[in-house]
Copies of this chain bind each other. A is one copy, B any other.
Amino acid sequence: MNKVAVFRREHFNAAHRLHNPTLSDKENAILFGKCNNKNYHGHNYDLIVKVTGIPDPKTGYVIDMKILSDLISKEVLERFDHKNLNLDTTDFETLNPTAENIVIVIYNLLRDKIDNKLDLQIRLYETERNFVEYPS
């Protein structure tokens, strides 16, 4: 039987700046331009969590969307919503919070909590025009 993918969209609002602490301020300014602004800027991050598996014949669900939504809230939104990613989280103390790095961090947070027989993929919108997906 073929698998079905289910998707749940959530969002959080956060501040960040792009900055690699192992590089000089000048190098950071060249590499990241206005995204390196020392006082931060921010985004409405839109998150789509894709979970793939065989629907349970009893429920007709791949995963209960209420449970998935609560899990995302607990593991991701409580951690990042209305936070400064660089200052308020341990995840980005030294890791540069590019969309690519954020989506990998979110994947790892959720992968640990979702049954391994289910596949997981995360899409993260930084803006309507810039977004990322992991694993690709």
Interface residues of A (CB under 8 A from B): 2-11, 13-16, 18, 20, 23, 31-35, 37, 39-44, 52, 55, 58-62, 65-66, 81-84, 87-88, 95-101, 103-104, 119, 127-136
Contact = CB atoms under 8 A, between A and B. Distances in A.
Contact of A132 (B7, B66, B129): B7
B41 A83 contact: yes
Contact of A40 (B7, B61, B84, B127): B84
A40 B15 contact: yes
Contact of A60 (B20, B44, B87): B20
Contact of A41 (B35, B84, B128): B84
Given A4-B103, A55-B100, A83 B133 contact: no
A42 B13 contact: yes
26 contacts: A2-B134, A2-B135, A4-B132, A4-B133, A4-B134, A5-B133, A6-B100, A6-B131, A9-B128, A11-B127, A13-B127, A20-B58, A20-B60, A31-B58, A34-B82, A35-B82, A37-B83, A39-B83, A40-B42, A41-B84, A44-B44, A52-B136, A55-B98, A55-B100, A55-B101, A62-B132
